[in-house]
Structure 1
């Protein structure tokens, strides 16, 4: 190793530490073992883990819990009548008008399974696996607009710049995959208000950023080797770039250059693994049919659910699926028919597939959006708006399954209008704390010091929802 003439003692020791850490990391990579940064906290997991992998199904735009999961007969009784002023006094909304009227559930509900969980008829496939699910009806958040609320669920903050949950998890636990990113992202359904900040590494080292995968045989741009470049030439080129980057890091003391080195190495390993991952035609016709995949060449939520199972099989630690299009300020009935037809069957198929593969016990599956929807219409029909619902941060529904979660139960109750929690309120930070807990992480102990103070995913809040586990 060569050091520049102007290398300070601090830079020397920093570089030596990084070098030794990377030697250890390289040996782990070579053996396909657990991979984490040399800066990750020790003593992890903090307690025995129930889950090894998380598949988070994020419904961007906020599904209406009142039309899918939380049936309220009182809304039927008051349908079309003005919402009592006392209900909305002092509340903050994005678009609610003073003459907003109560809107009844748009679909029939029924009870399913031994647990008797109530579901809308828009979720017939989920009804078949309902006893595997744990519903939380009283999730609430600090944010009432899409972008900050999506960031809040994913990063614990309504402002961009904080590490995402997947980044925190891979920072703490690493990954069992040595040829795929430990934190992967799959998107479908349209644009996301929170953008790429939802899977950012924030102030954590760059290797913990979520890596978006595209559909088709080329999941990451420019990962394919040009035909004119031989494997030997490519390996020599990467080695040369690595040595140049290492020299630059020594001369400048910029530790983040190591992120660039790691990115080149991961891309090199992915060149053979990624195309194999995307080879969905190798799955049986029965499996494709169960997920509802009609064309393996098209990007869809169904395809992404099957890819999530394949990623989990290959040791990826945190798999984030984003499906947009749930923002139903108008035509909530039409919108839910469309979105549920896209996600209901794939969600149920993913659960059944994980169970069939013997993976569900160690795979935590989470479903939910950034907030819920109001029990009243956003604006009256007289104003020219179709029936829709506004943003509702006070109470919404999420569900979990697998990974040590006790299924067949519903936690929390809302009032007769579905407006406020009246039994067992659960904050978004509590959901985050519970996810980390199932992975063997104490959310209060997984920290990273930045700008002079320790940070964590749940900030200074959050409690594990013990009923879930």
Structure 2
């Protein structure tokens, strides 16, 4: 088995929590609108929801179990049958097993980046980092597919953002040559009491006079600034300030983010936890026409010791961590997929669940982990990993690709991250051969290579 020499072990909670970015990159809302309007793009209505499991979920504990492998490979969980013959998945995903006809599993994903951020950049942008960073602190040289969708779609007439991070957006990708206006709008945790996303709070009717007064004051300041503008460089600023106020007062924007409009039975179906309510919010936003919604599926809550899917033996016990995660993942994803099909949205919305890579097929053991306990775990393994894909008008109820008897590498229909992204861009109606101009003045294609996954088309 090929060994990973550049895996330095699990990141600490402090290191994990240290990483982050502002939702709009320090830009004001009018700046965002002005920049996106400059792109002159129209918007479409297809959407992609990414259930992003940063840290690297194990293929052997989710969608590619190997019950006949030696004991030091096969792991603690057993496979169960789904409603599709031959498509077995983990025993802790029983709700998904009942609706396997509504999704497909890709078991043959692979690449060569074995550090967290490098692998994430590969999967989210389709570009291989120029200089791989073994410390997992790399930052992208290229925008991720959500940023590209935001740029290509342009501003929505109803003011909804085109790229939203449910709770958070991926921290390792940057818009770079697209400009900060392409960054995701981050909502905060949708499971908190009285959830309301930052910077998009609708002014209450009782405060309407104050809202009007503030708009009038800004208009007066803009007129004053224009009087001092001898070059006319401030022409049009009222247009974008007006659009910003329209967003803040838009009932359609407020409604899309308002989870209280959902019946209690629907909210309970998704689960009251972070992942469940994030999936519900994502469904509402996709239904409203947001292009890309990233669900931050790292920790199930702020108090969980399992703050990512990075299941090294020295970090988390593989069995304990996944017994916490998988039931909540199962509830959230099965509700999301079920509702998409029940509402007739399965051609409009594509759901993708994956991480940046898989885990080593051979189990490791540590005398003590972050909780001071002995534990089993797996290290980073980009040579083979799995993903779930649903909707998008694609062919459902099948397994794409296969790995060998120990889940070490693909043996059938190998799929690259570029192929996966080509499938995503096809659904979004974005030409993956389109070029942007980088900071050096050179054309950069959205994807350097890759084709839509033929088994799904």
Question: Is this a same-fold pair by TM over 0.5?
Answer: yes
Would the aligned equivalents of 1:373 and 1:391 in 2 still touch at CA under 8 Å? Answer: yes
| Residue aligned with 1:400, SS | strand
Q: Which runs of structure 2 are paired with 1:236-275 in the superposition (5 Å)?
A: 236-240=216-220, 262=240, 265-266=243-244, 268-273=246-251, 274-275=253-254
1:206-245 CA distance string (max 9 Å, x none): 3321110123443114856594962322222444566678
Residues 22-171 of structure 1 mapped to structure 2, 5 A cutoff: 37-39=37-39, 52-75=46-69, 78-79=70-71, 102-157=72-127, 158=129, 159-171=139-151
C-alpha displacement at 1:108, in angstroms? Answer: 1.2
- Shift, 1:407, TM fit: 0.3
- Pick from 263, 267, 270: which aligns with 1:291? 270
What is the aligned partner in structure 2 of residue 3 from structure 1? none
Residues 207 and 263 in structure 1, CA contact (< 8 A), matched pair in contact too = no
User: Hey, what does 2:17 align to over in structure 1?
Assistant: none
Mapped to 2, the partners of 1:246 and 1:207 lie a distance apart of: 24
Q: Distance in 2 between matches of 1:278 and 1:447?
A: 32
Where does the alignment leave 5 or more consecutive residues of structure 2 unmatched?
A: 1-29, 130-138, 299-307
2:286 maps to what in 1?
A: 312
Instruction: Look up the SS of the partner of 1:447 in the other structure.
Output: strand
Give the unaligned 5+ runs of structure 1. Answer: 1-21, 27-34, 80-101, 294-298
In 2, Cα distance between equivalents of 1:247 and 1:145: 54
Q: Deviation at 1:381?
A: 5.5
Secondary structure, counterpart of 1:437 in structure 2: helix
TM-score by length of 1: 0.74
Match of 2:304 in 1: none
CA distance in structure 1 between the partners assigned to 2:94 and 2:289 by the alignment: 31
Q: CA deviation at 1:266?
A: 3.6
Aligned pairs for 1:59-458 (under 5 A) are: 59-75=53-69, 78-79=70-71, 102-157=72-127, 158=129, 159-174=139-154, 176=156, 178-187=158-167, 195=171, 197-198=172-173, 200-214=174-188, 215=190, 216-221=194-199, 223=201, 227=207, 230-240=210-220, 262=240, 265-266=243-244, 268-273=246-251, 274-293=253-272, 300-324=274-298, 325-330=308-313, 331-379=317-365, 385-458=374-447
Call closer, same or farther: CA 1:113–1:249 in 2, change over 3 Å: farther
Aligned equivalents of 1:419 and 1:402: distance in 2?
28
Cα distance, 1:395 vs structure 2: 0.6
Query: Aligned residue for 1:462?
Result: 450
Q: CA RMSD in A?
A: 3.4
Name which one, 1 or 2, has greater alpha-carbon Rg.
1
The offset of 1:164, in angstroms, is 1.8
1:87 — aligned with what? none
